[in-house]
Amino acid sequence: MQDYFGKMDLSLSEVPHGGHITLVYKNDDDVIDFVSSFLNSGSKRNDFCIWITPEINEYDYSNAFFEEKIALISQRSCSSNFDHVLVDPALLSNAEIFCDVIIELLEKKQKYAIANGFNGLRVNIDLTADKGQMLPFLRYCRELIISSTSAIELTTLFTCPLESFSSSEVFDLMDDRGHTILKKNGTWTYLADLLSKKYRKHLRSSPELMRKEKNLKAIYRDSPVVAFLRNSENGFPIEFVSDNISQFGYSAEYLMSQKFLYKDIIHPLDIDDYLISLSEYIKNKSHEFKKEYRILDSERNIHWVNETSLIETDNSGNPTRFQGIIVDMTERKKAEAMIIQAKHIAEVANKTKSEFLANMSHELRTPLNAVIGFSNVLIHTDVGPLNEKQTRYINNISKSGTHLLALINNILDLSKIEADKMELQTENILFVGVLNDVESIVSPLVQNKKLCLNMSIEADDICIHADKLKLKQVLFNLVSNAIKFTPEGG
């Protein structure tokens, strides 16, 4: 007994309760050796063990195997601890029907196991399919069967002949990290480990490839973009994540240990919205998912991230995995918040400025109205004889005061302009009258700088349609600027 099992690598066959593994074999002897160890491990754990095979010749061989081998390793009789089931090979042409039959069978065996005090079900299912169809058939069956029982722990071993896989399917099996094994040089090992060992051996023989791999690792390590591969199961178990996840305080090894789920790092207030958005993408059969949300680092600090991922689906269109990247956009969010805050402060300051100008303009208009009023009294009432010079000065005071009042009124219009509510008061006016008003206002400025102002107009009856106050303000600004920047005596 010890000699028989001493030739085997038992470590991988001792799958713990609730574990699931896929074995790819080259010949029947290999698979029977492994299955015997797998079922023996279940016997020690008080599992009810089932061997399901669609092949009649293997079924007969399994009878002999149970009689000759399992009887030696089990303290119980085969009839009470083990069962072997023949399934019609024709069922393998339809994965859905095949799974329905197996699930119905397991439901019956589950009831039997519970009634007889077993701790769990330990099941080996042998699968075959046409080359090029094996991998989707395996993944579909594995997903449905594994989730079929809930009342008792289910441990599964799916065995598949290597010849049923195409070359590309064997390569794709690498994605089943830690779940697929095959025999190499007499030892059972994980397929991913086997291929990675061959890759590392090839790298060691090529310094140039080693240098490129080193550079690639450096890019991953230093990049702000975190790559991931997540399972679609509840909580999103992480199958792969790049080492630069360390920027959030986590190690890649820890996140891939299955002790931690991706949903555990999503902010509690964002998880429901995340799941709703993801469901909408899946419902719309979109293959690309994009979302901004918050995550928590290992110190429970909040980070904003932008996720872009591809949604992988099975033959029925159900999501199986999410492959993509997340980018930390916390600093961008902070900058956006600062911009919003600065805009708010500017709006408050602008409102304060408008209120200040309105108040100041009101305070200025009160005394200015008095100046204009008294100048008009001097002009239009008999308060005593005025010579020509005095009359001209008083007229200038009146016109300048009136113009200044108009400017102050325009200051009050700033709030209207900012609110896009400024209205023009247009009318038909004589252009020469506007020019004369501007000339009388700027005359003191011209005289102070000893300048000469010439006004020439071809006709006195030119009529235009405009806002008189706005036009006078424009002309006054133009002429006063010309006076301001003309040298004295120029």
Structure tokens at 362: 């009101």
Query: Which has more confidence, 275 or 152?
Result: 275
Q: According to the model, what pLDDT value does residue 8 have?
A: 39
Weakest-pLDDT range from 44-53, 275-284, 417-426, 433-442: 417-426
Q: According to the model, what pLDDT value does residue 269 have?
A: 95
Q: Place 92 in a pLDDT band, splitting at 50, 70 and 90.
A: confident
Please state whether the predicted TM-score (pTM) of the whole model is above 0.85: no
Domains, the chain: 2-204 (3.40.50), 222-328 (3.30.450.20), 331-417 (1.10.287), 424-490 (3.30.565.10)
Distance CA 194, CA 174 (A): 10
The pLDDT > 90 percentage for the chain reads 12
Query: Which has more confidence, 397 or 205?
Result: 397
- Asked if residue 211 has pLDDT above 90, the reply is no
Weakest-pLDDT range from 150-164, 216-230, 450-464: 216-230
- For residue range 306-354, what is the model confidence (pLDDT) as tens digits? 999 999 888 888 888 899 899 999 988 888 889 898 888 888 887 787 7
Strand pairing report for 120-126 and 153-161: parallel
- Asked if residue 283 has pLDDT above 80, the reply is yes
Mean pLDDT is highest, among 48-52, 199-203, 266-270, 351-355, for 266-270
Query: Which has more confidence, 355 or 300?
Result: 300
User: CA-CA distances (angstroms) from residue 139 to 103, 228, 309, 428?
Assistant: 15, 20, 21, 86
- For residue range 469-478, what is the model confidence (pLDDT) as tens digits? 889 888 888 9
Q: According to the model, what pLDDT value does residue 197 have?
A: 56
- For residue range 403-431, what is the model confidence (pLDDT) as tens digits? 787 777 777 666 667 656 667 889 999 99
Q: Place 204 in a pLDDT band, splitting at 50, 70 and 90.
A: low
Helices (H), 45-175: 56-65, 71-73, 78-81, 95-115, 134-146, 167-172
Q: According to the model, what pLDDT value does residue 4 have?
A: 32
Q: Place 303 in a pLDDT band, splitting at 50, 70 and 90.
A: very high
Q: According to the model, what pLDDT value does residue 221 have?
A: 61
Torsion angle, alpha carbons of 104, 109, 115, 117, to 10: -140
Q: What is the arithmetic mean of pLDDT over 81-102?
A: 85
- Asked if residue 237 has pLDDT above 70, the reply is yes
Torsion angle, alpha carbons of 417, 419, 425, 426, to 10: 80
